[in-house]
Structure 1
Amino acid sequence: MKEAPLATVAVLITILGLAYALWIDFKTSIQKKIELKQELLRQAIAFEVHKHKWLESEKVGYDVGYDYAWIDWNSKYRKDFVRSRKIAA
């Protein structure tokens, strides 16, 4: 069996090194995109809970509190809200 010239081996190692670096960069960018989408979803949920708190407080005439608003919004609207965000994304 004929051995590959040393230059060919060096080129292959360089190509594999570049491919690995590009893969790591791609994987990192995908990870960052996922983390960004998760953070945006958390912020959107917080906004919706604050809006829900305001609306519920207006209905009853006093501040219902964030904890009540979060529990109420979570039980009534979270599932559909998250589902609609995942479809839109």
Structure 2
Amino acid sequence: MEENKKMECISTLLKNSTLYQEFLLEREEILKHKWIESEKKGYDIGFEKALLDWVINHRSKWLASRRKNVD
């Protein structure tokens, strides 16, 4: 029982962390990119290909936009 309570507390802390929230936002953008590129190709390009393409071609602009909106 004590172990479950510890895990629940850790889980709550992670879900509320800024770093985790940023990770979720970035993941959402990658999944959108995966969908768009898969639609263009006519088949599922897969998460890894979408991730690499997004990081190489879009991440820096996305991060700059996020920073501008936060400031």
TM-score norm. by structure 2 comes to: 0.70
Q: Could you tell me how far 1:74 is from its partner in structure 2?
A: 0.5
Q: How many residues align?
A: 56
Identity value in percent:
34
Gaps of 5+ in 2: 1-12
| Off by >3 Å, runs of 4+ in structure 1 | none
Structure 1 residues 88, 36: CA separation in 2 closer, same or farther (over 3 Å shift)?
Answer: farther
Give TM-score scaled by structure 1 length. 0.57
Instruction: Tell me the equivalent position of 2:38.
Output: 57
Root-mean-square deviation (CA, aligned residues, Å) is 1.7
Structure 2 vs 1, CA of residues 36 and 87 (structure 1 numbering), >3 Å: closer, same or farther? farther
Q: Which structure would you say has the larger Rg?
A: 1
Q: Deviations over 1:20-58 (max 9, x none)?
A: xxxxxxxxxxxx8xx833222211110010000011111
- Structure 1's unaligned 5+ residue stretches are 1-31
